Amino acid sequence: MTLEVKLYENSKKEMQPLFEKIHSYEILDALKIDYEEGICVDLIEFHLKEGVLIDDIKTIGKMEIMSILKSEGVKHTCLVKYTETEDSRDLFKETDLDLISSIPSVVSEDKVTVTFIGENENLKKFIDMVKTHAGEIVNMSFKRAVYEKHDILSILTDKQRDILLTAHKHGYYEYPRKINTDQLSKKVDISKATFVQHLRKAEGRILDEILTGQPE
């Protein structure tokens, strides 16, 4: 299901802080969602406004940039942690409808496009939530989806996979990080430079796999 939503005025007002430095952003992949704590870790491509440098940005609205993975002109793909406020956490929990986020999912100042894969009943519940809390649905399309989850780690070499899994196991991708690359390199008994090289290549391959086939 893909929805195009024209935001209500109150929704636009709430989202204004997001667009002080960006034109829009696209959610490429939802890596982790904790509905109880109100936390998401996403892969997001930001489209910055002219003259804004990604290195100068630490937060965008409720989103904290954990890592910059790829930059091309004004487009920057980042690993991002999103945290709901206490006031909005109950509403966030209601979105726990066993839906799989897909593309396109693009957020701009006055329009949001979201795509989800899920059961019809849960998709209808999400539509009702959008109408109640977010905005007017101006376009809606459905198609039968075939979703096959594959082992994305299979595209890595054995060394890259081991290093990536070690980093994940010890909290390198948590926020704040529980371990740094110097400490991780000692755990696998290789130099820090070699460890970082393998880790960056692993991240790059996974990112390329995720982005393959997406429109420029």
pLDDT of residue 146: 56
Q: Which residues contact 81 (CB under 8 A, 6 or more apart)?
A: 39, 40, 41, 63, 64, 66, 175
Q: pTM higher than 0.85 for the full model?
A: no
Whether residue 11 lies inside any domain: the answer is: yes
pLDDT, averaged across the chain:
88
pLDDT of residue 148: 53
Whether residue 6 lies inside any domain: the answer is: yes
| Mean pLDDT (whole number) for 129-141 | 95
Inter-axis angle of helices 158-169 and 192-211, nearest 10: 100
pLDDT confidence of 151, banded at 50, 70, 90?
A: low
| Mean pLDDT (whole number) for 39-65 | 93
Whether residue 124 lies inside any domain: the answer is: yes
Task: Give 3-state DSSP helix, strand, coil % of the chain, rounded to 5.
Answer: 35, 35, 30
The last residue of a domain, from among 111, 141, 171: 141
pLDDT of residue 199: 93
State which residues form the domain around 190.
Answer: 152-211
Q: What CA–CA distances, in Å, run from 112 to 2, 168, 199, 204? A: 10, 32, 34, 28
| Mean pLDDT (whole number) for 46-74 | 93
Q: Which two tokens stand for residue 189?
A: 């008994």
The count of domains in the chain is: 2
pLDDT of residue 213: 47
pLDDT of residue 53: 94
Q: Judge if 137 and 156 occupy the same domain.
A: no
Query: Among candidates 65, 28, 58, 31, which has minimal Cα distance to 45?
Result: 28
pLDDT of residue 34: 85
Query: Among candidates 137, 88, 140, which has minimal Cα distance to 111?
Result: 137
Q: Judge if 158 and 116 occupy the same domain.
A: no
pLDDT confidence of 215, banded at 50, 70, 90?
A: very low
Q: Judge if 69 and 124 occupy the same domain.
A: yes
- Is the distance from CB of 195 to CB of 184 less than 8 angstroms? yes
pLDDT value at 103 more than 70? yes
